[in-house]
Structure 1
Amino acid sequence: MKPKSKESIVIIGGGPAAMMLACTLDPILFDVTIVEKGKAIGRKFLVAGKGGFNLTHSEDIDKMIEKYEGPKSLLDSLSSFTNNDLRHWLSSIGIETYIGSSKRVFPIKGIKPIAVLRAIKKEIERKGITLLKETLWYGSFIENSSIQLLHKEKNISLKADKVIFALGGGSWKITGSDGCWLPHFKKNNVATLPFRPSNCAMCINWPENVKVHFGKPIKNIALTYNDTYIKGEMMVTKHGIEGSPAYALSYYVGNELESKKSITVFVDLKPSLSLEKVNSILSKSHKKISKLLRDELSLSSTAVALIKSATTREEFNDVKLLTHCIKKLPLSIIGLEEIDNAISTVGGIKSTAMDKHFELINFPNHYTIGEMINWNAPTGGYLLQGCLSMGYALGKYLNRKHQI
């Protein structure tokens, strides 16, 4: 049987999903071109490396998948390219990893984010992939086996049997991830949702007594919204609250804020103690309440300020009511921080617009992966793992499909 001729694949975007896809596609089967509008690929990849390069999480993959909200194609890709698979793949390109105390996975000491990116770029070069920088996609789809692009302000045509869009979400514009592509898809009747922030700070209209505490953390708290309960540290800022618990709840709070002006979340200021234990400590001492909170419960002045902002003077001096406030302090969330400051976004291409292999139903041979798709995951390595798994899964699928 005559072997199939090589196909031309154009990957539009140079983020994590795009780079993993490029590394996975078989160069014997495909001529691959990565189109990047900036001067270098992997800029958002480097952003993920600020403050410690958290590559993935080490928990059991079935438990890990439960943390994701998104289409089945995403969940299937996580099963086909797991966190352990990612660690093995990184090792194969010279990047060894270790599991930190938080069960997050990092490059071993001494390996900086730029070194990880260089190793991936080297793999892309080894595959013979063409990199076309400073090239803009402005809304074209495949016509006559080619796609129209703008390279350094000049129109060019690239041969394309298949196009994979990996244009990113709606935050971190400085990295090229600006969401400007969304209207082009909407105009062509591809089902989309507006972008909104996720994994972000939540906005609160603070009373005067809290303002002197801006920039101060409250450690060892738990934040609750409905049935979601997240322990960690909370930072009080002029806009509201930041920190891992706030980021984790922002997706669910954002869903509700679509139809409501405000949402109440609750802070447990002493998650290590039961309601009864807190009540017992407060009841047995004759100290002044403020000293009692500081000395017996180790609550910071910032935590006490939040308690005072949520209680009247009478309630503050009532042990039973004070106990309830310590264990379930209400905070009124009036919004989420602006989208460009968010760690990630939700919105973009709806799951109904594509099949189980990320192919657009209305546009055969056009695929979308990464943060373009409407999905959510917490911080802690889950976001990067999701993007890399999608790139890998699509690459393997296209390799198989070409050989059938």
Structure 2
Amino acid sequence: MLKILIIGAGPAGLMAADYLSSLSYQVTVADRMPSPARKFLMAGRGGLNLTHSEPFQTFLTRYREASGVLTPLLEVFTPGDLRSWCKDLGQDTFVGSSGRVFPVAMKASPLLRALLQRLSQRGVTFLQRANWTGFSEDGSALFETPDTKEQKLEADAVLLALGGASWPRLGSSGSWTTLLGDKGIAISPLHPANCGFRIGWSDLMTERFAGTPLKRLRMTVGRHSALGEAVISSAGLEGGLVYALSADLRTGIETEGQSVLSLDLRPDLSIEQLTRKLSAPRRKQSISTFLRKAANLSPAEAALLREAGPLPDTPEELAQRIKDLQLTTQATYDIDRAISSAGGIRLDQLDDGLMLKALPGVFAAGEMLDWEAPTGGYLLQACFATGLAAAKGIDAYLTGKKG
């Protein structure tokens, strides 16, 4: 029986193990953590957004520059296929009001338990607390484990599914970049993605409004804009709306030293409509009360307007600031606080089966590849899809060797 070693027990690695074990390969999954899929379980605490139900052609655009490479993989394993795969494991899914897809259980643990049970029934072996340290001269994978200083595992094919560098305490530290870089494999530097951005708030914002949600916003960065919600933190801004444009914000910081974002605090009103509302007599109302009554702005949103300087005197100028509140950020949150990471193994280093051209028999999948996507189901969908694509690449590679 041919042996396959999968290094990394996250969504990509487990999907590959599921497919390859169904073909009766002897599969071992090694992971540096005491139990599998730690980050997957954490993602499930918020409901486990598996994928998205929007039109498929729109879905594909969420992967930006990597969409050309990922499209054929996502066409093989679509959002509908992911839902069917969950159903086959006894976990039904549903589409939320935003179009996002969740398991009915609204958490990750039932889906993970069902998958691990199926893998166990097929004879998949798990090696936990195994830290991958590279390959030996004969091509065997080397590990450090608590029981031995070094352990060597031989395999007919290896899949690397080690994740990126976000939330390293859950297993994906990004230390593999050095190991593969030493093998001559081109790797784009790892950067935080789906992360918050630092803004130099006034003391009022940090002391009074840290933790306050901002709803019904439109954010614009350069040519891209999105609707959604954000959260004021003591350090800056975070939340789904910020994550959706994190790639644009990060690029601006990398190229210009800073990024300017524009917030529309009332995207449901035109500037003319807002000007008419703000032309009402203020009388003896405080400015915060007036903005709440005339423009339906919360105290936090009223305070945000002052972050751009003294409030304008005329209704027209005040309406303009509400519709185009510009804030500057010069740094992301640290990568260990990011939901995901950008960068990784450059896609031109892989063949169509996701095998590393410089390391025959070694494949890669998941977040360690150089792609990124916003939250909303796109991250997990691509991790599962690349895991399946690599598994099929392994099968084709081993079938070719047998032939």
TM range (shorter): over 0.9
8 Å CA contact 2:33, 2:129 repeated in 1: yes
**2:232 matches 1:236:** yes
**2:218 matches 1:215:** no
- Amino acid paired to 2:274: V
Match among 128, 131, 137 for residue 133 of structure 1: 128
- Amino acid paired to 1:326: I
Please list the CA deviations of residues 99-140 of structure 1 after superposition, one character each: whole Å capped at 9, or x if unmatched. Answer: 11121111114x642111101101211222121112121021
Match of 1:47 in 2: 42
Give 1:156 deviation, angstroms.
Answer: 2.4
**2:265 matches 1:269:** yes
Alignment gaps of 5+ in structure 1: 1-5
**2:16 matches 1:21:** yes
- Matched residue of 1:330: which SS? strand
8 Å CA contact 1:72, 1:356 repeated in 2: no
Match of 1:302 in 2: 300
Taking the TM superposition and a 5 Å limit, the aligned residue runs for 1:4-403 are 6-28=1-23, 30-69=25-64, 70=66, 72-109=68-105, 112-140=107-135, 143-144=137-138, 146-152=140-146, 153-211=148-206, 212-287=208-283, 288=285, 289-313=287-311, 315=312, 317-403=313-399
- Over 3 Å counting, the alpha-carbon distance change for 1:28 and 1:328 in structure 2 is closer
- Amino acid paired to 2:155: A
- Over 3 Å counting, the alpha-carbon distance change for 1:173 and 1:90 in structure 2 is same
Return the alpha-carbon distance in structure 2 between the equivalents of residues 285 and 49 of structure 1: 50
Taking structure 2 as the reference length, the TM-score comes to 0.93
- Amino acid paired to 2:210: F
- Amino acid paired to 2:303: A
356-365 or 66-75, which moves further after superposition? 66-75
- Amino acid paired to 1:302: A
Please list the CA deviations of residues 175-217 of structure 1 after superposition, one character each: whole Å capped at 9, or x if unmatched. Answer: 1111111111111211012211010111100123323222212
- Amino acid paired to 1:311: G
- Amino acid paired to 2:73: S
Return the alpha-carbon distance in structure 2 between the equivalents of residues 148 and 101 of structure 1: 47
Return the alpha-carbon distance in structure 1 between the equivalents of residues 142 and 372 of structure 2: 32
8 Å CA contact 1:271, 1:327 repeated in 2: yes
Please list the CA deviations of residues 320-363 of structure 1 after superposition, one character each: whole Å capped at 9, or x if unmatched. Answer: 21111000000011111010010000011111222222111111
- Matched residue of 1:220: which SS? strand
8 Å CA contact 2:365, 2:383 repeated in 1: yes
Structural RMSD (CA): 1.8
8 Å CA contact 1:21, 1:391 repeated in 2: yes
Match of 1:3 in 2: none
Return the alpha-carbon distance in structure 2 between the equivalents of residues 378 and 133 of structure 1: 30
8 Å CA contact 2:195, 2:332 repeated in 1: yes
Return the alpha-carbon distance in structure 1 between the equivalents of residues 276 and 177 of structure 2: 56
8 Å CA contact 2:167, 2:338 repeated in 1: yes
- Over 3 Å counting, the alpha-carbon distance change for 1:329 and 1:112 in structure 2 is closer
Return the alpha-carbon distance in structure 1 between the equivalents of residues 6 and 185 of structure 2: 19
Taking structure 1 as the reference length, the TM-score comes to 0.93
- Over 3 Å counting, the alpha-carbon distance change for 1:349 and 1:71 in structure 2 is farther
Matched residues, number: 395
Give 1:401 deviation, angstroms.
Answer: 4.4
Please list the CA deviations of residues 238-258 of structure 1 after superposition, one character each: whole Å capped at 9, or x if unmatched. Answer: 100111111111111111211
95-104 or 269-278, which moves further after superposition? 95-104
- Amino acid paired to 1:393: A
